[in-house]
């Protein structure tokens, strides 16, 4: 296998049509490059002219050392990491491609160095992080909920929801409110409401509107702002969904909101799911509720009857690296 650093155009040519997430898309990576500190490196593993593995990373050189991050922190990117696509379906060949690519990338990044911090949150379709563990990196497992809509009509999907969720959706649908897809203005309204809610809860919110707006605009039909409005066109709530070729991702918004004493957020999620079943970009068939790692939030998300799906977090470990992480975080702030 040969390892190359790719341009965005070369990355676009190599990227498969499945098994990726929204931030693997070249338009999203271009925005990350603009709004993050460090160098965007697009690694491609090739067998001859055929791409067999890809990994985007932001590499940051600091006074305390080097950080190689996929995804970079503070930009609301839940997962990124490698995409492996060997030519052979045989397990042995898949493992060899995955292992060799990991070794080449870690060597290029000089991850064995004492001051190189490596952290990677893998996409949910990446199932084999063992080569990184064999390279003495630490492994953790996190979870998300994924709802499969393929081959099902909306009402069949809805029968798997909890009774309380079905009732909440029905009650909201009876209100004098509308849920619609809006453009950049709708995305900004969702952003502002999200920022306001974080401030009310005294929680840090690091995303900026220039970044969020650039991302929404760059992704085109891969980003949709679903907004629920009252009878006087007043903004009540909304969700920004991002799309890969496979799935819609609940990315931003969804702060709890009520109208006439009835919660309306479930109606927004239901509209996204209905669109997935009838009008999804590029035929996406899965709704990723983005995260199942906080008990309080899982009580709500589990009501959709979605599948619990693991994904992996790989990072540098050891006592010496713990010191480097602390030093890095102080500089980063």
Spelled out in words, what is the top-level CATH class assigned to the domain 145-310?
Answer: alpha beta
Q: pLDDT per residue over 224-264, tens digit each? A: 999 999 999 999 999 999 999 999 999 999 888 899 999 99
* pLDDT of amino acid 322: 59
Model pLDDT, residue 326: 58
Q: Shortest CA distance to 224 belongs to which of 277, 256, 187?
A: 187
Give dist(CA 8, CA 94) in Å, integer: 25
pLDDT value of residue 329: 52
The pLDDT value recorded for residue 325 is 54
Question: What is the predicted pLDDT for the residue at 4?
Answer: 97
Q: Does the pLDDT at position 330 exceed 50?
A: no
Percent of the chain with pLDDT over 70: 95
E strands in 215-290: 223-229, 235-243, 247-253, 258-259, 262-263, 286-288
Place of tokens 């029968």: 159
Q: Average pLDDT in the 92-119 region?
A: 91
pLDDT of residue 255: 81
Alpha helices by DSSP H, listed for 209-253, are: 209-219
For 84, phi then psi, to 5°, come to -115, 130
The arithmetic mean of pLDDT across residues 266-283, rounded, is: 91
Residue 64's pLDDT band (cuts 50, 70, 90): confident
Compute the distance between CA of residue 305 and CA of residue 309 in angstroms, rounded to an integer.
12
The pLDDT assigned to 40 comes to 97
d(CA 70, CA 60): 11
Q: Look at residue 159 in the predicted model and tell me its pLDDT.
A: 94
Q: Which CATH architecture has domain 2-137+316-332?
A: 3-Layer(aba) Sandwich (3.40)
Give me the pLDDT at residue 105, please: 97
For residue 23, pLDDT over 60 is answered with yes
In sign, the C-alpha dihedral spanning 16, 76, 215, 66 is negative
Could you tell me which residue, 95 or 324, shows the higher pLDDT? 95
Which one has a higher pLDDT value, 64 or 184? Answer: 184
Q: Do domains 2-137+316-332 and 145-310 have the same CATH topology?
A: yes
Domain edges within the chain: 2-137+316-332, 145-310
Reported for 257-265, long-range contacts at CB under 8 A and 24+ positions apart, including other chains, are: 257/228, 259/172, 259/175, 259/177, 259/230, 260/175, 262/168, 262/171, 262/172, 262/175, 263/168, 263/172, 264/172, 264/175, 264/177, 264/228, 264/236, 264/237, 265/228, 265/237, 265/239
113: pLDDT confidence band, cut at 50, 70 and 90? low
pTM of the model: 0.93
Peptide bond into 71 cis (omega under 30): yes
Q: Model confidence over 177-227: pLDDT tens digits?
A: 999 999 999 999 999 999 999 999 889 899 999 999 999 999 999 999 999
């Amino acid at each position: 296998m040969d390892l190359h650093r790719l341009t965005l155009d070369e990355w676009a040519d190599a990227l498969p049509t499945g098994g990726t997430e929204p931030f693997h898309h070249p338009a999203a990576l271009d925005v990350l490059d603009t709004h993050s500190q460090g160098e965007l490196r697009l690694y491609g593993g090739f067998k001859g002219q055929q791409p067999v593995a890809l990994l985007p990373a932001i590499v940051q050189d600091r006074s305390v050392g080097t950080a190689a991050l996929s995804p970079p922190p503070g930009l609301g990117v839940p997962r990124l990491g490698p995409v492996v696509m060997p030519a052979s379906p045989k397990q042995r060949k898949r493992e060899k491609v995955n292992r060799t690519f990991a070794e080449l990338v870690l060597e290029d990044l000089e991850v064995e160095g004492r001051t190189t911090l490596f952290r990677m949150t893998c996409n949910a379709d990446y199932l084999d992080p063992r080569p990184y563990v064999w390279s003495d990196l630490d492994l953790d497992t996190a979870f998300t909920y994924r709802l499969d809509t393929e081959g099902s009509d909306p009402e069949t999907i809805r029968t798997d929801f909890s009774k309380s969720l079905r009732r909440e959706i029905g009650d909201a649908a009876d209100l004098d409110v509308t849920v619609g897809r809006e453009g950049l203005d709708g995305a900004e309204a969702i952003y502002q409401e999200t920022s306001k809610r974080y401030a009310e809860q005294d929680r840090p919110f690091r995303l900026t509107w220039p970044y969020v707006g650039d991302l929404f605009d760059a992704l085109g039909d891969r980003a949709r702002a679903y907004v629920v409005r009252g009878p006087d066109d007043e903004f009540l709530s909304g969700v920004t969904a991002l799309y890969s070729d496979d799935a819609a991702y609940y990315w931003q918004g969804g702060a709890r909101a009520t109208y006439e004493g009835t919660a309306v957020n479930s109606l927004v999620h239901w509209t996204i799911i209905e669109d997935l079943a009838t009008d999804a970009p590029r035929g996406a068939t899965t709704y990723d509720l983005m995260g199942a790692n906080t008990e309080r939030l899982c009580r709500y998300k589990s009501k959709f009857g979605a599948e619990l799906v693991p994904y992996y977090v790989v990072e540098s470990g050891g006592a010496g690296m713990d010191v480097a992480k602390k030093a890095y975080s102080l500089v980063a702030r």
